[in-house]
Structure 1
């Protein structure tokens, strides 16, 4: 098994690391993932629209920082994928639509990706896999494929980030749900975190388990009592 630093070492912390991670959400990175899927001319307007969405002012966590971290961690961990480019494209879209007042964000994001994939000539089977990859980030069931497992583990890697980054993430989530009265927010947030901590494994894939599991359990065990 490949030796990896603990999860905290896989998240950008220094300004240099953050700058490097920002390259993962560049036009060059966007063009590269489409090229890997056999599409010569990546849709520029879609890239620009995606970036606008990830920069919406109501997003405190589900924003460009989160997208950059996901793409950065996916590349660094490099867990086995059947179709890495499909996983990366699904990551670009997994929070493309995000409104904390709605419950269909993943569905609308998956539909957007399907429209873009169809318009750019991807075949029906590839489109189905991409759709399923985005939908699995609802985190309401076990991933059905190795690629879905990698995508889910990447999305959840934040739970195993350094204590400082996890604390920032926790504050960011509260900002996104600031319209919820604090007692109700604490109750619902506690339920979410407890469900993750109660899992036999938070991370399905061996490399993500090795990199993030211990730190994630420490972060969750520290955060949950504060929600009493």
Structure 2
């Protein structure tokens, strides 16, 4: 996977026509690896990034701003501390540091910053953002794990539980159940924003969420 990821990293570096190629790789590729391999990460790691980049390739023909989505994928979880509530803001700030180093266009910087911040609440897209179909695809990609096969979903839910091991078990069960139930109550048409993800992942996601809620309440 590491070689595959490095190839994808080089791909977006070239798409963005970044100068000082070797220098940038030495600095930021190391930062990417250090951050996403932190000990508290069991799901929000490079495997997650790789899966989203695969989805970006799968749906690339539907996208208008592939460059924006790829940078958003790489940086949306670069800061991840389960004990904090401002990970998205901090991730966006680190992306700004990166963009200053590599001199991305102002439009790309603005869009990626917006996309990263939007992951703070996937199901509530602002009215002025609803027409940005690329943003909707990006958010759906990030939630695609919810609609995967049962064994994959169970591994995901186990990993999330490990990431929140600092929370007492009873409190975790109550909090996690409440969040998942809100997704179930809203329905898959609220969970996913694009027709493709609703069709492919929607109903399976609701079934997975219901099954996890049952387990949490046992």
TM over 0.5: same fold? Answer: yes
Higher helix share: 2
Task: Please tell me whether the aligned partners of residues 160 and 216 of structure 1 are also in contact (alpha carbons under 8 angstroms).
Answer: yes
SS at match of 1:60: coil
Write the deviation string for residues 10-31 of structure 1: whole angstroms up to 9, x where unpaired.
xxxxxxxxx5xx55522x2112
> Displacement, 1:199?
2.2
The structure 1 residue matched to 2:13, chosen from 34, 56, 61, is: 34
1:158 matches 2:137: no
The equivalent residue for 1:8 is none
**Which structure 1 residue ranges, 5 or more long, are not aligned?**
1-18
Task: Please tell me whether the aligned partners of residues 91 and 116 of structure 2 are also in contact (alpha carbons under 8 angstroms).
Answer: yes
The equivalent residue for 1:195 is 182
Aligned-residue Cα RMSD (Å) equals 1.7
The equivalent residue for 2:96 is 114
1:167 matches 2:150: no
1:211 matches 2:200: yes
> Displacement, 1:155?
0.6
- In the aligned structure 2, how far is the partner of 1:52 from the partner of 1:124? 27
Matches within 5 A, 1:87-126: 87-126=69-108
Alignment size in residue pairs: 207
The structure 2 residue matched to 1:142, chosen from 106, 120, 125, is: 125
The equivalent residue for 1:222 is 211
Q: Which runs of 4+ in 1 moved over 3 A?
A: none
> Displacement, 1:164?
0.3
TM-score with structure 2 length normalisation? 0.89
Write the deviation string for residues 135-189 of structure 1: whole angstroms up to 9, x where unpaired.
1111162161212111110110110111001000110011011111111000110
1:55 matches 2:37: yes
- In the aligned structure 2, how far is the partner of 1:84 from the partner of 1:102? 30
Task: Please tell me whether the aligned partners of residues 37 and 86 of structure 1 are also in contact (alpha carbons under 8 angstroms).
Answer: no
TM-score with structure 1 length normalisation? 0.85
> Displacement, 1:207?
1.5
Task: Please tell me whether the aligned partners of residues 37 and 46 of structure 2 are also in contact (alpha carbons under 8 angstroms).
Answer: yes
**Which structure 2 residue ranges, 5 or more long, are not aligned?**
none
